[in-house]
A and B are shown apart, each in its own frame.
Chain A
Amino acid sequence: MQPVIELDDLTVHFGEREILKCLRIALSGRIIGLLGPNGAGKSTLIHTLLGFCPASSGTARILGHDIRAEADKVRTLVGYMPENDSLIADMTAVSFVRMMGELSGLAKEAALERAHEVLFYVGLGEARYRPLGTYSLGMRQLAKLAQAIVHGPRLLILDEPTNGLDPAARTRMIKLIHDMKDSGEMHILLCSHLLRDVEETCEDVLILKQGSIVHHSNLESERRTNKRFVEIQTHGDDSGFAETLVAIGCQCSAVVGGRLKAVVPEEFDLREIYRVAAGRDLQLRRLNYRRDTLEDIFMKAMEV
């Protein structure tokens, strides 16, 4: 499978300051989450991929196209929804989205048709003839999304798409992201401070810190791995309980005062643990999967 984004020793300087430090990775997920604290270099990475910032050394490829040598081709394939407000207030949504479509290479008629379609798609169909300056924050976010997808990009870069949205609008945006992922050939790079958004939508996650990659993982495989860890809390005499679990294939650790952690084998039936406990007349007060959330992953990455 061709990587969506390949970073090949990518280094970016602003003056004397090194913002991105020799990044090297290949990302292939349908939705890739880009995380990091403020100043980690997320926006610089996005700007470099779009050709806004020149790379000091190294390069990057988007869907196999070099961002330096084939900048125009890359920009044809990419749709960008910036974090900041960037809509021209006195233009109507349909006129603005149409103009952006035409600048991306769509013919006049096709751009107009696509502008109507994408505005309906994001839920601004009824408001498409209103000036963008009269839109609420949530509507403006949707209009920014509409201009980013009007030309049918293969890679959609979303920079903080749920910023400032109320819960209903956020849910709608997340649903749209899922829908776009499912309905076409589109890949999405989602940059967000909201870990919940990334956790709900992304398959891959890339965490940057001070311009370096500190973590890259596939969230789905992380979730699968997490399912093999269980935390058990017992009440009563638990002597020999851990040994019995080991005997049925589990690996136990940290047996402290009625609490233990076990790694269960694949295809393991958790009811076995209940049977063992019942056989030893031991109360199970708690039995749950260890839930290593994205927040845990992020916090661990920040400690590196």
Chain B
Amino acid sequence: MAVHKHTYKDYTGPRTPAWSRFLVLARFGFARVFHLKFLLLFIIGCLFYPLVCAAYIYLSHNPAFLALFRIPASQIPHVDGRFFYFYSIVQGALAYLLTAFVGPVLVNPDFANGAMPLYFSRPFSRAEYVGGRISVLLVLLSLITWIPGVVLFAIQASIVGWDWMTANLWLAGAIVLGLLVWIIVLSLIGLALSAWVKWKIGAGALVLGVIFAGAGFGTAINSLMRTNYGALIDLTQVAHTIWSYLFRYNTGTEMSVSSAWIVLGVTSLLCLWLLARRIKPFEVIK
């Protein structure tokens, strides 16, 4: 039917496979994010530290550069678990900020405008909705966390050689696992909290507040109760514990690694529960 023919006509063309529909939501989600110049600039800005790290790796293996500045090669810190532990802290923190900015942008308009009945009156499930939205966050967070991390590992391996790579392959696994787990938890927190607060700025503030408040309350509990259990509600402590374990860099954290994994698991389940409670085609007002 051409646009100049103002009569209604059925659609009888082919349909896309059901499994691919969540990608539609992801595509429109990316469009929504990249429509905001601030977010685009922030994402680009998040790649500054990996670039600095890449330059460091290159220059630390460049004898001409070291000779020029008279830096003894023995004094250059090695690219090892400690290096990637600090890389994870910096990029993990940026990923957290990006989640607070992007999560509400993805989810809030749907809830604030009451669009859920329109999504779910179509052959489109709640799981596909969450999949479509979370995939945007996961891709963006991956771009600034484990993907540049693996690239840094590859640069180091290409410069130092095969032996270093085979001896430190566990580092690549630690980068992927440590940061992937972190961004999955962040994405779930970002979506779950954004779904419950209709005001976009409020939702972003809540996502930021959860971690700051957790850290604050955790410290307060530890001080008042004279225990270490307060660290369990401090997600930054939890992440540092896991990264310190994965990168084999002892930071002297008092939390056990198993407790940290359990906290991340419980947090993820709690977020999924919040999403399941919130993502519905309509609300029953009691």
Residues of A within 8 A of B (CB): 14, 47, 50-52, 72-73, 75-76, 78-80, 82, 84-91, 95, 99-100, 102-107, 110, 114, 116-117, 120-121, 125, 147, 149-152, 176, 179-180, 183-186
Contacts and interface: CB of A to CB of B under 8 A. Distances in A.
Contacts of A79: 121
Interface size class of B (residues with CB under 8 A): 35 or more
Contact of B281 (A52, A104, A107, A150): A52
Given A72-B123, A121-B7, A179-B7, A110 B13 contact: yes
Q: Which 8 A-B pairs have the closest CB atoms?
A: A152-B11, A105-B15, A80-B121, A52-B281, A72-B123, A152-B10, A102-B24, A75-B123
Given A102-B16, A105-B16, A117-B1, A88 B110 contact: yes
A296 B148 CA distance: 73
Interface of B: 1-4, 6-16, 18, 21, 24-25, 28, 109-110, 113-124, 280-282, 284
Contacts of A120: 3-4, 6
B114 A84 contact: yes
Nearest to A85: B114
A14 B18 CA distance: 30
Looking at B2, B11, B12, B18, the one whose CB has the most chain A CB atoms below 10 A away is B11
A125 B2 CA distance: 12
A120 B8 CA distance: 10
Q: Is the interface of B mostly helix, strand, loop or mixed?
A: loop
B21 A105 contact: yes
B84 to A, nearest CB: 39
A94 to B, nearest CB: 11
A107 B6 contact: no
Contacts of B7: 121, 179, 183
A103 B115 contact: no
Nearest to A78: B121
A79 B10 CA distance: 12
B8 A86 contact: no
A164 B123 CA distance: 30
B8 A103 contact: no
Contacts, number: 121
B113 A86 contact: yes
Contact of A103 (B2, B14, B24, B281): B24
Given A80-B121, A87-B115, A103 B11 contact: no
B10 A80 contact: no
A116 B12 CA distance: 17
A121 B24 CA distance: 24
Contacts of B9: 117, 152, 183-184
Contacts of A151: 11, 122
Contacts of B116: 86
B123 A104 contact: yes
Contacts of A116: 3
Contact of B109 (A88, A117, A147): A88
A103 B3 contact: no
Contacts of A99: 24-25, 28
A100 B10 CA distance: 16
Looking at A104, A116, A149, the one whose CB has the most chain B CB atoms below 10 A away is A104
A100 B118 contact: yes
A86 B118 CA distance: 7
Nearest to B35: A90
A88 B115 contact: yes
Contacts of A106: 11, 13, 15-16
A71 to B, nearest CB: 8
Given A103-B124, A149-B8, A184-B9, A87 B21 contact: no
Nearest to A74: B123
Contacts of B117: 50, 52, 80, 82, 84, 86
Contacts of B284: 14
Contacts of A150: 11
A121 B118 contact: no
Contacts of A87: 113, 115
Given A14-B284, A84-B114, 6 more contacts: A76-B122, A86-B114, A88-B109, A105-B21, A151-B122, A184-B10
A100 B3 contact: no
Contacts of A114: 11
7 contacts: A47-B282, A50-B117, A86-B115, A105-B16, A106-B13, A149-B8, A180-B8
A61 B195 CA distance: 33
Looking at B2, B12, B16, the one whose CB has the most chain A CB atoms below 10 A away is B16
A28 B117 CA distance: 26
A239 B280 CA distance: 70
B123 to A, nearest CB: 4
A89 B113 contact: yes
A184 B8 contact: yes
